[in-house]
């Protein structure tokens, strides 16, 4: 067995003139939480959003909901250059168009992408 290497995760600066929006979710048996944080290139928090809902979906659907909230927040803040960050590789790949996808979650991801 290969031992796990500890890794340090740090916030990474976006390129000059770009605002970074990080989304994250949590789920338990009865509810879900989603959060969005908006930072400028210096790491200064410009805004955010958080919500707890009294029902639970799978992680892909909740991640899509969080990204949608991030898109809405970016539009409301009139942000023009935005870098979205998510830990859900499945949704990131769907939004970035990696491969064909005909399932509902893929179609929803494409709808979110069109809102950008």
Residues 24-73 have pLDDT tens digits of: 998 888 888 999 999 998 889 999 999 998 876 778 888 888 988 999 99
Whole-number CA gyration radius for the chain: 15
pLDDT reading at 78 higher than 90: yes
Report, as an integer, the average pLDDT of 71-100. 83
Q: What is the pLDDT of residue 48?
A: 95
d(CA 98, CA 42): 31
Cα gap 91→110, rounded to integer Å: 10
pTM of the model: 0.74
Most confident segment among 54-58, 84-88, 102-106, 107-111: 84-88
Domains by residue range for the chain, with CATH: 19-87 (3.10.20)
């Amino acid at each position: 067995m290969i031992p796990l290497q500890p890794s340090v995760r740090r916030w990474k600066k976006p390129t000059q003139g770009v605002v970074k929006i990080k989304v994250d979710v949590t789920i338990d048996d009865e509810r879900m939480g989603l959060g969005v944080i908006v930072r400028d290139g210096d790491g200064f928090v410009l805004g955010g959003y958080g919500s707890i809902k009294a029902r639970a979906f799978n992680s892909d659907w909740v991640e899509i909901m969080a990204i949608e909230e991030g898109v809405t927040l970016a539009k409301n803040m009139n942000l023009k250059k935005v870098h979205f960050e998510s830990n859900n590789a499945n949704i990131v790949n769907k939004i970035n168009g990696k491969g064909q996808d005909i399932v509902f979650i893929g179609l929803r991801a494409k709808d979110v992408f069109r809102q950008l």
